[in-house]
Amino acid sequence: MTSEAEEMDKSLLESMFREHWRSRRTEHATVSEQGAGTREITSRDLLDDGREVIIRHGAEAYRLKLTNSGKLLLTK
C-alpha cells in the first residue's frame, strides 16, 4: 500500500510527463517515423535531465531507469 504523499508524487510526475510530451509533440512535429505508427524518440527526450521516469500503461506503472553504466532498465 502506498502513502498519500507517494500517490501525490506519482500523480504529479505523471502530469509532468504528459505535459512534457504534449509540448514535445508540438515543438518537434517532425519526429522520425519508421513505418505505420512507429515513432523514434531518444532516451534523453524521455528522461529529460533525470535518471528515471514512470511510464503508465493502462493500470500498470513501469519504471524506466538509466543505470550508472549508461544502460536502460525497465521494471514493473
- Tens digits of residue pLDDT in 23-48: 665 555 554 555 667 888 899 888 98
Distance CA 51, CA 29 (A): 25
Q: Considering the domain 4-75 in this protein, what is its CATH number?
A: 2.10.70.10
Residue 59's pLDDT band, with cuts at 50, 70 and 90, is: very high
- Domain ranges in the chain are 4-75
What are the phi and psi torsion angles at 66 (to 5°)?
-90, 120
Q: Report the predicted TM-score, pTM, of the whole model to 2 decimal places.
A: 0.52
